Amino acid sequence: MTNSKDEEIAVFRFGVIHEFVGATKLTKNEKRRLLREKCDRKWVIPYSSKTRISENTIYRWIRRYRNSGGRIESLFPGKRCDQGKPRKLDDETINIILVTRQGQMATPVPMLLEGLKQQGVVPASTGLTTIYRLLHWHGLMDRSPKPEDRRKYEAESPNDLWQSDVMHGPQVLVDQKNRKTYLIAFIDDHSRLIVFGGFYLSENLTCFMDAFQRALAKRGLPRKLYVDNGSAYRSHKLEYTCASLAIALIHARPYKPQGKGKIERFFKTVRSQFLPTAELVSLERLNQSFTDWLENTYHQRVHRGTGMTPLSRFSRDLQCMRKAPKNLKDHFRTAVFRKVAKDRTVTLNGNLFEAPVALIGKRIQLLYHEQEPKEVEVFFENVSHGFLVPVDIHVNCRVKRDKNKNTQLEPASKTDYQGGGLWK
């Protein structure tokens, strides 16, 4: 089964350090300011009740990532050394703290802790960090609304930030039936260029990943991808693909659509200027007419916010862009973990494969495309061992071993058995 916990933690850690290990060049003062901001803010850390990250921890993650040559696996968590040991607070004490807090939501946490110490509920050595972490974990901190400081922003260079979203499109005729379409689009924040846009018959993960791969192949790799909180955007596969390509995946805050204003403004333009004249006879014709409109109209028109056409503004700083790797398709593979059985076999999606002898008993990682379930590459300790071979039980029955345990394949020969003599 997929080791999603380790990969989810690794993706989160990459999201914290991506500015320090990415292509963006930061000055010493900028790095120091950014580091302080990350240490001062509160995080929702996967599988942890902690909400803060120390400087030493961030430095350690950066060092591990760089020393591994930029492999996302270097950010996998190690095994805890204190598993099974008792915590500072037992279950009964924790329950008393939570019940007390529920009745005193307006009381400052330091005063709450002092009262608990005076009552003898918690040990005198209990610190504020322990109580804060506990209350954050159970959602018992003050939720009074505070004014937000919203500011207009723009990425400094092309491919620094992409925004993506889905627009409900018109119906088209597919197999003699009217089917609803969905426009999946990616916009470059700096230039307002649509790096890719296409109509699909669904907004699921498969369609989004196809659009994302096309965008990367056409326009290169962005440094950050800003998306919504839908199920496709929160998928483990998208997070892992972005991390393996050194792309920071950023999610908009729930019920806060203001951050996606540029892509929403583009969708408004599509509804008012493209759809009234679009060809809706088929999905292919719809996408072809949309592509023509993008290249010949939208990308060639001066944008009011930038004072330039999207294409010319995107093209003026090509030297700072990252090209998509030649093996881009491999970064979109599904990753699962399996243990090799004693007979060298590995089962994946109902198919039986043979692994190399050296991997017997080992826990290996398998990478494959869902469209090609029998093309499976095997990795052990971040080293590729080639592709798995489907098991052929008829060939295996002719495999023999000599006295040195070397395998030999006996030739298939006709049997001398005549059979059926009883009935002659």
276 pLDDT more than 70: yes
What mean pLDDT, rounded, does the chain reach?
A: 83
Q: Is 212 helix (H, G, I), strand (E, B) or coil?
A: helix
The more confident residue out of 308 and 256 is: 308
- What are the φ and ψ backbone dihedral angles of 342, each rounded to 5 degrees? -65, -25
Q: How many CB atoms lie within 10 A of CB 346?
A: 20
- Which pLDDT does position 402 carry in this prediction? 47
Q: What element of type H or E holds 376? A: strand 372-380
The DSSP output letter for 79 is P
Alpha helices, DSSP H, located in 294-352: 310-315
Token output for 286: 């719809």
410 pLDDT more than 80: no
Indicate the range of 68-77, 88-97, 143-152 predicted with least confidence: 143-152
Q: Is 200 helix (H, G, I), strand (E, B) or coil?
A: strand
Same fold, 161-320 and 333-409: no
- Which pLDDT does position 271 carry in this prediction? 95
Amino acid 415 reads: T
- 73-76 contacts, C-beta under 8 A, 24 or more apart: 73/10, 73/382, 75/9, 75/10, 75/13, 75/14, 76/6, 76/7, 76/9, 76/10
- Which pLDDT does position 161 carry in this prediction? 93
- pLDDT class of 7 with cuts at 50, 70, 90: confident
The DSSP output letter for 411 is P
Q: What element of type H or E holds 170? A: strand 161-174
Tell me the torsion sign for CA atoms 342, 348, 354, 355: negative
CB of 167 closer than 8 Å to CB of 182? yes
How many angstroms separate the CA atoms of 104 and 98, rounded? 10
Mean pLDDT over residues 222-232, rounded? 89
Mean pLDDT over residues 96-105, rounded? 86
Which CATH fold topology does 333-409 show? OB fold (Dihydrolipoamide Acetyltransferase, E2P) (2.40.50)
Side by side, the strands of the sheet bearing 334-339 are 334-339, 363-369, 372-380, 383-387
- Which pLDDT does position 290 carry in this prediction? 96
pLDDT tens per residue, range 364-405: 988 888 888 888 999 998 888 889 989 875 555 544 544 444
- Which pLDDT does position 23 carry in this prediction? 65
Mean pLDDT over residues 142-155, rounded? 57
- Which pLDDT does position 266 carry in this prediction? 95
148 pLDDT more than 60: no
- Identify the residue whose tokens are 């292509």: 23
- Which pLDDT does position 1 carry in this prediction? 40
- Which pLDDT does position 179 carry in this prediction? 94
Token output for 229: 């909180």
CB of 131 closer than 8 Å to CB of 112? yes
Mean pLDDT over residues 260-288, rounded? 92
CA distances from 170 to 139, 207, 212, 271 (A): 42, 17, 22, 10
Tell me the torsion sign for CA atoms 7, 13, 15, 20: negative
- What's the pTM? 0.60
User: For the chain, what percent of residues have pLDDT higher than 70?
Assistant: 85
159 burial level (CB within 10 Å; 0-12, 13-18, 19+): buried
Domain boundaries, the chain: 4-75, 91-137, 161-320, 333-409
- Which pLDDT does position 299 carry in this prediction? 95
CB of 160 closer than 8 Å to CB of 249? no
What is the torsion angle, in degrees rounded to the nearest 10, for the CA atoms of residue 63, residue 66, residue 71 and residue 77?
A: 0
How many angstroms separate the CA atoms of 118 and 278, rounded? 73
CB of 294 closer than 8 Å to CB of 194? yes
The DSSP output letter for 321 is P
The more confident residue out of 126 and 265 is: 265
Mean pLDDT over residues 324-340, rounded? 90
Amino acid 136 reads: H
Q: Which CATH superfamily is domain 161-320 in?
A: Ribonuclease H-like superfamily/Ribonuclease H (3.30.420.10)
79 pLDDT more than 70: no
